[in-house]
A and B are shown apart, each in its own frame.
Chain A
């Protein structure tokens, strides 16, 4: 059994499992993106072109990160409770294949929502999007990094605690992370913290991929996100290989 075949079969299994809910999930993704665009407009009465740009590009970034840090860990926690997690772990597949299959599933679920969110942002704010090829690795990196961290949380914590932690992380991301607004708006100490965290750079590579303009050096942003992704996968692999 090749690693790729194991991953593909687990992905097929997940797609079959969720086939009846895919439309619902995709609708929620659309609603989330639309909510960010219109909801934040209430908070900020005078939407300048820069604010509009952040809202439009921040919405898909946020949904990708939330997918990894909330949906996936909650699904993993549920799998641990039901016994599904141990069952899959007892199958002859690479240790990270279940997580990567889950990431792919949630990415596929997000595609229509992301596209529609961008379309609505374009209609709402009239911003010019220049979608480049680098948006593909940006999406994959953001989703995988978030999922790796989320998976590690779900494996390390008791299942009942995972949902609480995931909710807390979501609120912190929503309110205190420079995804829908520039980093400079935050207090200096929080800016310093974010310079060491991947969220700012995730938002940058997504924004760059969608508009062609990077807030910081693209190479630097990609390098930092790749480093975080590798670290997250290493932690997840360690968690997946751990035997109590």
Chain B
């Protein structure tokens, strides 16, 4: 974990309520320069409320936010200067071309005309947007989201907040997008990445926090959180639509069930029992398919979020 004094973004004991609903409940986290910090959580976990407080759009009830040593609660104008942002909704690109949108935001964020133009070209090219960069026709959801990323990255703040940057983006461009996100951090930004895309985020984040019910449930590097699972393997099953799950053998524990998808944690010593159980269930028509793999961040996410009484 990065030492607190190295944090570019430091949030301490943040609370925010809407009426009787506590959207953020004592959140503390820090993100260092050069780090990609993932913020994972279900819908309604309080992630967007947290982001809006960082950007100075909402005022916390209690707690502190400092960005590069500046009190962002007391000085929201400084927060806006120090943060660049890709919103969860599509960035406002209606009526303008991708290049125009990126270059205008770059200029607003204080970049020189030449530097902004060159950086915009690099970003658009790296995300394979060159062919459509100068068109003013309405963009698809994925194109608008990629353009939104370029708008956040053209003159990045010391903190770059990316809210669901990969939604609607096709697989090849998504891969390029993850590289650019990583590069932002490598160039010195503190990147706060809000995402539902747990599996892909695992390859990009240095540390992460799992948020649900407005509170941080777990935080740390992905490897450490996975180690805390206590089970290094996972059994993933696709159930028959009508199936009742047969009793699991000892050493195999259910981690999560979403629709027909069942995730179980498995110890190394219980691999043979788990496979035998799955093969028998498949033979009886209860499973359509199964796989046994190393535990992932998704298992960590499922463990923590499913433990919440209000989780979806």
Contact = CB atoms under 8 A, between A and B. Distances in A.
Nearest to A85: B92
A83 B89 contact: yes
B118 interface: no
B56 A92 contact: no
Contact of A6 (B59, B88, B90, B108): B108
Contacts of B80: 90-92
B57 interface: yes
A185 interface: no
A10 B108 contact: yes
Contact of B96 (A9, A17, A79): A17
Q: Which of A1, A6, A20, A90 has the most CB of B within 10 A?
A: A90
A93 B105 CA distance: 11
B95 A83 contact: no
A138 B77 CA distance: 33
Interface string B76-90: 110011010101111
B94 interface: yes
Interface in A75-101: 79, 82-84, 86-93
Contacts of B302: none
A38 interface: no
A68 B230 CA distance: 63
Interface in B36-82: 52, 55-59, 76-77, 80-81
Contacts of B87: 83, 86-87, 90
A199 B90 CA distance: 39
B204 interface: no
A18 interface: yes
A174 B232 CA distance: 73
A244 to B, nearest CB: 5
A16 B96 contact: yes
B107 A82 contact: no
B95 A89 contact: no
B109 interface: yes
Interface residues of A, number: 25
B271 interface: no
Contacts of A6: 108
A13 interface: yes
A243 interface: yes
**From DSSP, what is the main secondary structure of chain B's interface residues?**
loop
Contacts of B88: 83
Contact of A82 (B58, B92, B95, B108): B92
B95 A20 contact: yes
Nearest to A8: B107
B104 A17 contact: no
B9 to A, nearest CB: 15
A87 B104 contact: no
B264 to A, nearest CB: 39
A243 B16 CA distance: 12
Nearest to A244: B58
Contact of A244 (B59, B95, B109): B59
A84 B56 CA distance: 16
Nearest to A243: B59
B92 A1 contact: no
B81 A92 contact: yes
Interface string A16-52: 1111100000000000000000000000000000000
A1 B59 contact: no
A236 B223 CA distance: 50
Contact of B95 (A10, A18, A79, A92): A18
Q: Which of A92, A93, A244 has the most CB of B within 10 A?
A: A92
Contacts of B95: 16-20
B110 A86 contact: no
Nearest to A95: B77
A13 B104 contact: yes
Contact of A87 (B56, B76, B91, B100): B91
Contacts of B83: 90
Interface in B235-251: none
Nearest to B54: A90
Nearest to A86: B57
A12 interface: yes
Nearest to B136: A20
Given A90-B57, A243-B58, A9 B89 contact: no
A17 B94 CA distance: 7
B108 A90 contact: no
Nearest to B16: A244
B30 to A, nearest CB: 21
9 contacts: A17-B95, A17-B96, A82-B89, A87-B89, A90-B80, A90-B83, A90-B85, A91-B108, A92-B81
Pairs of residues from A and B, 5 with the lowest C-beta to C-beta distance, nearest first: A83-B89, A17-B95, A84-B92, A243-B59, A92-B81
Given A16-B96, A92-B81, A243-B76, 16 more contacts: A1-B81, A1-B109, A16-B100, A17-B94, A17-B96, A79-B92, A86-B57, A87-B85, A87-B91, A90-B87, A91-B105, A91-B108, A91-B109, A93-B108, A243-B58, A244-B59
